[in-house]
Structure 1
Amino acid sequence: MASIGQTVDPTPGKDALARARQRAALVPDCLVEARRIANTVIAGWHGRRKRGIGENFWQFRPYAEGESLSRIDWRRSARDDHMYVRDREWEAAHTIWLWADLSPSMMFKSSYGMVSKESRALVIMLALAEILARSGERIGSPGLMEPIAARNAAERLATALMHTPSTTGLPDVGMVRGWSDLVLIGDFLDDADAIMARLGPLGRRGLRGHLVEVADPAEELFPYSGRTEFTDPESGERIVAGRAENIRDDYRQAYLARRESLGQSLRHLGWTFTPHRTDHLASEALIAIHMYLSGMPANAVGGNRP
């Protein structure tokens, strides 16, 4: 996942330990901030509503081949040419898998952003864990923490994050089963087709997914001018632009086209996509994701814009 920036510090193997120590020092502050944000948005929210085995009506949805005919709501189906199933609310604990990108590109921070992308991703992840744990949900992280239902799930996740090495690419989600939710938080700067090649099979087996794209304002706005050197934080490869302003329009067009392509592909899969910039409040992304997990339609949440 490449990132633009005026940093010239590649990250060879000997720096991996330094990066791990830096994140270990960062996580406690992120946990404090996550709890503060969670407290500002959790008031009045008492768990998530979703379809399942409860007694209360949840939603009508199209009948799927193989389901019992007794589940069809014939009165609702008589209104048009389709058959509909009456879903009920599920009050049992659900499993939500949380993952934050810890690759070197996430350490980028320009003068236009409040914090680094890594810091913002960790805050959103831990704040979401805090809210969901208070609601009685089971929280896990692929390859990092098995799902648990505990009030201190956010703290335990933070501890695990302090001791995990930096990662590259998407996580191994082989342990994630259908009827779970997967929340992925990162910059997702890889090719959209490559990302969807990994995520497509998950959606087709029934897993609900939610991507939060964390971006530094400079990555979207490209405010550079004059002679500028850009370094890929993953590989250390460098590119020098003699007059950076001359490529601004082409860069922004390509950047936004990649985001639009990824967002459309995810929505076709039935997943949600939330772009978030680090010059905005973390609570904006947190509220959007919580709404999605609560079952609110994507078009009713303002954060799901490409």
Structure 2
Amino acid sequence: MVAIGQITEATRGGEALLRARQRAALLPDLLVEARRIVATVTSGWHGRRRRGAGENFWQFRPFVDGEPVSRIDWRRSARDDNVYLRDREWEAAQTVWLWADPSLSMLYRSQGAIVSKESRALVLVLALAELLSRSGERIGFPDVLDPISARNAAERIAGALATGRPASGFPSGDRFKRFSELVLVSDFLDPMDALIERIDHLSRRGVRGHLVQIADPAEVAFPYSGRTEFRDPETGAKLTAGRAETLREEYRALFDARRAHLADHCRHIGWSHVFHLTDRLASEPLLALHGRLSGQFQPAGQRA
């Protein structure tokens, strides 16, 4: 183990190269797993229906002052005392950016978890790419793959991740256009002030965001006891607790407060937030994301 304060750029570069090779070896299996998950949820996946300038009927909804009278459906309105508009379904392809956090903290996997946080994040991104590409959406991955509209989008993302190296850190947002959508899958363990600042920057650019916060079950339960050494995978800093169990109650309170704060902020700016544990099925957050991307209301902070 490298001593604290002696982690050099060469060391980081060697670790990054090793991790890139490990990810490349893992991606074919993750793609297979993503397609298996897609097969289990396809029956409940109806594409992304949004109000817009299409030709297909979507829904009737109550008339609101200021909307064009020409869109009133008089036949439907004659059935009761309300006035209804006839909405059509949006048919133009939208750009959906998908991002899985490449941070070192995502490698963590406790004994109670099915997979690492990184593996689950990549599976979710690939499964979502598979599903969205079937609906004709344009899919992109920041710094890895420019937006494409292709049936094999998931395979191309996997190939790009296997041969390239995603940039570390939160997406800058320079490539995201107004009204595009961004799905961020991460443990979101960065300092909260910096994280909120980055999210707000994207929101001000007109990006509609969806956060999937992934956690290992041990990060929630804090099952440690006795003398325990904790190590920050990003910096190498260490903390030794003589009796780790004495920290459990305070840790859980801080963790829950942090998660609630992030969910509340997403709700405030009109973004969505889903919390997911890696000992749960990957199909759960995938279906929750479908609801948000389809424009269906689900409270921010939903647990999946």
Report the TM-score, using the length of structure 1 for normalisation. 0.86
- Give me the whole-angstrom Cα distance separating, in 1, the residues matched to 2:46 and 2:227: 54
- Give me the whole-angstrom Cα distance separating, in 1, the residues matched to 2:205 and 2:70: 23
Which structure has more RCO (C-alpha within 8 Å, separation ≥ 6)? 1
- 1:69-88 alignment runs, 5 A limit: 70=68, 88=88
Structure 1 residues 126 and 283: CA distance shift in structure 2, 3 A: same
Aligned length: 289
What letter corresponds to residue 41 of structure 1 in structure 2?
Answer: V
| C-alpha distance after superposition, 1:87-133 (max 9, x if no partner) | 54202212111000011110000001000000000000000000111
Structure 1 residues 44 and 233: CA distance shift in structure 2, 3 A: closer
Larger radius of gyration: 2
Where 1:162 maps in the other structure, the secondary structure is: helix
What letter corresponds to residue 98 of structure 1 in structure 2?
Answer: L
Deviation at 1:46, TM superposition (A): 3.8
Task: Judge conservation of contact 2:30–2:123 (CA < 8 Å) in 1.
Answer: yes
More divergent stretch after superposition (49-58 vs 175-184): 49-58
- Give me the whole-angstrom Cα distance separating, in 2, the residues matched to 1:125 and 1:246: 38
Deviation at 1:179, TM superposition (A): 1.6
Q: Give aligned-pair identity as a percent.
A: 55
- 1:226-305 alignment runs, 5 A limit: 226-299=226-299, 304-305=302-303
- Give me the whole-angstrom Cα distance separating, in 1, the residues matched to 2:167 and 2:190: 14
Deviation at 1:15, TM superposition (A): 1.4
Deviation at 1:71, TM superposition (A): 7.3
Q: Does 1:152 align with 2:149?
A: no
| C-alpha distance after superposition, 1:179-201 (max 9, x if no partner) | 21100001001233321211113
Q: What 5-or-longer segments of structure 1 have no aligned partner? A: 1-7
- Give me the whole-angstrom Cα distance separating, in 2, the residues matched to 1:166 and 1:53: 36
Deviation at 1:22, TM superposition (A): 0.7
RMSD after superposition: 2.9
Structure 1 residues 63 and 193: CA distance shift in structure 2, 3 A: farther
- Give me the whole-angstrom Cα distance separating, in 2, the residues matched to 1:177 and 1:166: 20
Where 2:109 maps in the other structure, the secondary structure is: coil
Task: Judge conservation of contact 2:180–2:208 (CA < 8 Å) in 1.
Answer: yes
Task: Judge conservation of contact 2:144–2:166 (CA < 8 Å) in 1.
Answer: no
Partner of 2:50: 50
Partner of 1:91: 91
Deviation at 1:208, TM superposition (A): 1.1
Partner of 1:178: 178
- Give me the whole-angstrom Cα distance separating, in 1, the residues matched to 2:86 and 2:235: 52
